[in-house]
């Protein structure tokens, strides 16, 4: 049975439909007395077509009481996901935008709060932009600096309402900007950035939260990232992190630092403002451990700011490595948090000192255990951090003890190209520094065949990393024989027409290594690999020239290849290379010239 409130609300909706102005105001007041967050009451309004009536009432001219009543009801109803969609479908957004020009501040406040609820829907975001609501909301954020620096207790009601309007407008933009690049661009063109900077410097916590919420959504755009730096927002963001206890505000501050952390100047500003210390304090606070959004944002900010060597030094003094490894021990930790923790370790372990710390604090077994997860951002970072750890011989021994290489190799089957590429890059130092790398690689059933098959990928990063791994695998003659049987030579030759510098570098290295088995050297020449390689050494950078010279040296062991090289005009480039300061390039070029010269003398 339906409760009495249901029928009472339906009677009120009849008055709204048929009553005069006075009856409408009274009905709205009575309706407001009910708890509109209760589902039954919401159904009573919706079943009588009440939403359409309420939206139509927004078109009334110069009747402030009716508009205020309607907006106060819509602001509550729009908190419901189903009613939110119904309001948007019935044309509520254009009416709200049209009323933003109403000079009544209490009307503007309620519209801002209602838009904040509605704009969580993609359709509402589009309509707000289409009907010109974004510039109007931006204009409403413009309040005198004096009011933003005056405590609310010292304000008169008029000034207090102006601050509330700015807060409501910021909240509306907060929702409207979420995951909508088009809206962000319109907001920026409307002059949103300096106003947000002004609001963030306010003394009013509610205003700061709304402004920081908007900023945290917008800083995915490069223009907003630059503005955080140029408008001097970093100091205020760090100040709020240090002084304020509001968890939501701290989360928005950390999210903003995370998105802006790619810029070197911003990273320096964060360090100089004391931001690194407070970020470590946030993740080390036991009270924050259960707040996953805050932990994800804070660890993400640490990850991005650790890209600067000066910041790494500061993090080292704060014992960041030890604190981050402790977070990896929590088996119930959120995957985004783990991904950011491992990302931060990726930057920190680029120094030998921190690699030793990760090993000493038992971080490597925890990192290897996480390889069983399926969360892609986490897997991308895990392979990167293990790649850095594998550069250290002692750490590599631990990776072997915990069967880490097998798990890394299995990631070559992952559907993500980025995970595949990172896994292949990770295998390079693993194969280099393993105790018996040849036997270890052969022990992976189907592993070499999988590696060769990845040469058919269309992703340049995957191809480059796989070529680098093959260059290491081919150092073992038995493994070279296996990959030769799997058709590595024709697959490598298929790639020699590439224009990608990184792929050229590692492709040439792989070709050079693969020449050591059977007829591979002759086969490379017969399949047409020589002439493109000559172009590599003529056009490439120093790294490409070095590996290409080594490949040509290996290929020049075959007489027919020497003839092709000579006809391709390689001699002049090799003569220049002999005069290089790079000793490896010198030696390879000289060896290739010697083989060509030897053939010429024999022919004479």
Please tell me the distance from the alpha carbon of residue 241 to that of residue 278, in angstroms, as a whole number: 7
Distance, CA of 227 to chain centre: 19
Element (H, E) at 108: helix 105-118
Residue 240, CB half-sphere, CA atoms under 13 Å: how many? 28
Long-range contacts of 579-584 (CB under 8 A, 24+ apart): 580/545, 582/542, 582/546, 584/546, 584/549, 584/550
Residue range 437-450, pLDDT digits in tens: 999 999 998 999 99
Enter the tokens of residue 350. Answer: 């680029």
CA distance 374 to 103: 54
Burial of 296 (C-beta count, 10 Å sphere; 0-12/13-18/19+): buried
Q: What is the mean pLDDT of residues 67-81?
A: 90
Tokens 């000793």 sit on residue: 583
Closest CA to 167 of 104, 209, 215: 209
238: helix, strand or coil:
helix
Q: What is the pLDDT confidence band of residue 555, given thresholds at 50, 70 and 90?
A: very high
pLDDT (mean) for 457-463: 96
pLDDT per position as a tens digit, 106-148 = 999 999 999 999 999 999 999 999 999 999 999 999 999 999 9
Q: How far apart are CA 309 and CA 467, in angstroms?
A: 30
Which alpha helices (DSSP H) does 244-334 contain, by range? Answer: 247-260, 264-272, 275-284, 292-305, 309-317, 320-328
Handedness of CA 33, 37, 38, 43 (dihedral sign): positive
3-state secondary structure 464-528: HHHHHHHHHHCCCHHHHHHHHHCCHHHHHHCCCCCCCHHHHHHHHHHHHHHCCCCCHHHHHHHCC
For residue 65, the model assigns a pLDDT of: 81
pTM over 0.85: yes
Indicate the pLDDT class of residue 259, thresholds 50, 70 and 90: very high
What digits encode the pLDDT tens for the residues 488-539?
999 999 999 999 999 999 999 999 999 999 899 999 999 999 999 988 888 8
**What is the 3-state composition of the chain as percent helix, strand, coil, each rounded to the nearest 5?**
75, 0, 25
CATH placement of domain 445-603: 1.25.10.10
Length of the chain: 604
The gap from C-alpha 268 to its chain's centroid, in whole angstroms, comes to 20
């Amino acid at each position: 049975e339906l409760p009495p409130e249901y029928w009472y609300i339906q009677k009120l909706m009849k008055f709204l439909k048929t009553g005069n102005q006075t009856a409408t105001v009274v009905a709205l007041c009575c309706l407001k007395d009910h708890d509109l967050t209760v589902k039954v009451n919401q159904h009573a309004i919706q079943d009588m077509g009440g939403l359409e009536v309420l939206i139509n009432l927004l078109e009334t001219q110069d009747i402030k009481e009716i508009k205020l009543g309607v907006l106060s009801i819509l602001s509550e109803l729009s908190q419901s996901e189903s009613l939110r969609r119904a309001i948007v479908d019935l044309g509520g957004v254009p009416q709200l935008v049209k009323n933003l020009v109403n000079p009544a501040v209490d009307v503007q406040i309620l519209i801002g709060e209602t838009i904040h609820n509605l704009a969580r829907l993609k359709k509402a975001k589009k309509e707000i932009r289409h009907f010109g609501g974004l510039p109007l909301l931006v204009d409403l954020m413009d309040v005198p600096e004096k009011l933003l620096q005056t405590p609310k207790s010292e304000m008169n009601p008029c000034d207090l309402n102006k601050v509330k309007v700015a807060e409501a407008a910021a909240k509306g933009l907060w929702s409207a900007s979420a995951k909508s690049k088009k809206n962000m661009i319109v907001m920026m063109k409307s002059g949103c950035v300096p106003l947000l900077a002004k609001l963030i410097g306010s003394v009013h916590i509610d205003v700061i939260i709304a402004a920081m919420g908007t900023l945290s959504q917008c800083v995915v755009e490069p223009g907003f990232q630059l503005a955080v730096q140029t408008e001097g927002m970093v100091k205020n963001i760090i100040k709020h992190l240090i002084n304020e206890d509001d968890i939501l505000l701290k989360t928005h501050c950390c999210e903003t630092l995370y998105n802006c952390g790619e810029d070197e100047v911003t990273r320096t500003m964060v360090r100089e403002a004391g931001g690194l210390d407070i970020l470590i304090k946030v993740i080390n606070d036991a009270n924050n451990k259960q707040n996953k959004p805050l932990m994800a944002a804070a660890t993400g900010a640490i990850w991005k700011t650790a890209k600067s060597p000066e910041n790494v030094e500061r993090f080292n003094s704060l014992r960041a490595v030890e604190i981050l490894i402790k977070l990896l021990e929590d088996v119930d930790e959120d995957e985004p948090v783990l991904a950011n923790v491992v990302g931060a370790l990726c930057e920190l372990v680029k120094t030998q000192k921190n690699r030793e710390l990760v090993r000493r604090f038992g971080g490597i077994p925890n990192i290897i255990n996480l390889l069983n997860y399926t969360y892609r951002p986490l897997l991308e970072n895990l392979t990167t951090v293990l790649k850095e750890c594998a550069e250290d011989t002692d750490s590599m021994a631990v990776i072997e003890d915990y069967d880490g290489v097998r798990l890394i190799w299995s990631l070559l089957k992952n559907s993500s190209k980025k995970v595949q590429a990172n896994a292949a890059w990770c295998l390079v130092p693993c194969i280099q520094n393993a105790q018996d790398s040849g036997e270890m690689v052969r022990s992976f059933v189907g592993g070499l065949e999988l590696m060769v098959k990845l040469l058919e990928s269309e992703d340049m990063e995957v191809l480059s990393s796989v070529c680098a791994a093959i260059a290491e695998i081919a150092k073992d003659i038995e493994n070279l024989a296996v990959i030769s049987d799997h058709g590595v030579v024709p697959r490598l030759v298929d790639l020699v027409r590439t224009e990608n510098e990184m792929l050229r570098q590692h492709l040439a290295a792989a070709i050079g290594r693969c020449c050591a088995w059977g007829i591979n050297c002759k086969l490379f020449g017969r399949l047409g690999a020589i002439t493109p390689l000559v172009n590599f050494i003529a056009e490439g950078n120093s790294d490409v020239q070095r590996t290409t010279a080594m490949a040509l040296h290996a290929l020049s062991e075959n007489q027919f290849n020497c003839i092709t090289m000579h006809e391709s005009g390689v001699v002049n480039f090799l003569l220049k290379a002999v005069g290089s300061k790079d000793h490896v390039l010198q030696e390879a070029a000289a060896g290739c010239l010697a083989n060509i010269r030897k053939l010429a003398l024999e022919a004479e």
